[in-house]
Structure 1
């Protein structure tokens, strides 16, 4: 299947689905389209709540595209590359609707940022999470604010430092990253649909104000996440990171 980002609206529920054949690793074009779609549904008066999901049966999101990562040759390209998830996180943050994330499988890097940025995150027991950026000489700088906001500095640093470790869905729930963990996708989807249908009948102005209140203190994220992207964009050009990437490619 080819990569896509698509959305539909039914009974006040806007559903956005993204897919990429490489374990839902997201190239820049995909991330731009995803951010654009979130903004579009956020501004649509027919939408009362947004569900964010990915296609495929395995990983929810394997982070940013490794093929694009290894092609970075200068700071400008690096900044653009690492800004991809920044734009998605900020689109979720600024959407005047609650965003529900549906996490059906493993989540790595930028995907953890999406799960953390969502206002309410459902997952299955197969949705293990990992922040692997240090293993290739960079760090989870862009997603850091979103992840730390949900799980706290201690759990965020645990994931960051032990960068080869997958943490279980139950661990993620205990830390606050996931709101609910289901045994099967069918069970998860039933819970998602139940909550989304309830929210679609609530006062949209009340939910808008509640969304704004819940994100107080993040007003600087438009610039903060770009500043963080700049750090990674510089690090990826270092000899250490180039060597680490080449070693990863050789595996």
Structure 2
């Protein structure tokens, strides 16, 4: 499941039942549609595997966790249907996390932007480093974080989401993200983060599988309408990305 230009997604299931899903893209772990599909499929596959007891979601490299949507691909969208289809990739990843019967731990080693914040919010538990600042930059390019907003608001609440969205060009610190509930734990560096991830995932893998499934259901109570809701949000984003404002803004960002 790899391509040097389009990125890669890999799954490794340990003897203890820890399924580690790693995604990577050379452009700061941004997410084109092909990679989004692979990621959603990997989450579905790991969740359905009877050998899986817990899932760890991570990205490659030591810097950016995820830069969000692929701006290069956004510029190639020419009609509403293509726009909705692209943003549906994020819908499918979020819903894969939501519907997975297995607890998902996110490992956020660096900055998370846009859809990257959505990925962190879609996990059941999130560990990060002090370098993992966050930003929702969508308004600055003429769209909004519509698809990921239910997942983010569910974690941090409307006031914090409002700050992230309206302060679209400002990063908020990892400590801020933990204080608001997006991150559950923050560590000084990657080695400390990985030690904590290993310890937590091993503990979870030793717990009663049915108890973990029951917990997962409780964590996602009240989200049964998300299939329809997120599809509607994808259509909104898919239309906005066609605007002259957004196309010009994307070109400016790509030239920086």
Structure 2 length-normalised TM:
0.96
- Per the alignment, residue 132 of structure 1 pairs with 137
1:154 aligns with 2:159: yes
- Per the alignment, residue 12 of structure 2 pairs with 8
Structure 1: any 5+ residue segments left out of the alignment? none
Q: Matched residue of 2:116: which SS?
A: helix
Residue by residue over 1:157-211, the C-alpha shift from the partner in whole angstroms, topping out at 9 and shown as x without a partner, is: 1000000000000000000000000001111111111111111111111110110
1:218 aligns with 2:226: no
Q: Matched residue of 1:8: which SS?
A: strand
> Contact conserved, 2:71 with 2:254, CA < 8 A, in 1?
no
Tell me the matched-pair count: 251
Residue by residue over 1:81-108, the C-alpha shift from the partner in whole angstroms, topping out at 9 and shown as x without a partner, is: 1111111111000000100000000000
- Per the alignment, residue 74 of structure 1 pairs with 79
1:206 to 205, 211, 222: 211
- Per the alignment, residue 238 of structure 2 pairs with 233
Residue by residue over 1:17-65, the C-alpha shift from the partner in whole angstroms, topping out at 9 and shown as x without a partner, is: 0000000001100000000000001011101000000001210000011
Task: State how far apart, in whole Å, the 2-side matches of 1:21 and 1:204 are.
Answer: 36
Aligned-residue CA RMSD in angstroms? 1.0
Task: State how far apart, in whole Å, the 2-side matches of 1:147 and 1:115 are.
Answer: 8
Structure 1's consecutive aligned runs of 4 or more residues displaced over 3 angstroms after TM superposition are none
Residue by residue over 1:207-240, the C-alpha shift from the partner in whole angstroms, topping out at 9 and shown as x without a partner, is: 1011011101000111111110100111111222
Q: CA shift at 1:242, angstroms?
A: 2.3
| 1:1-251 equivalences in 2 (<5 Å) | 2=4, 3-10=7-14, 11-251=16-256
Q: Matched residue of 1:178: which SS?
A: coil
Note closer, same or farther for the CA distance 1:108–1:7 as it changes in structure 2 (3 Å cut).
same
Structure 2: any 5+ residue segments left out of the alignment? none
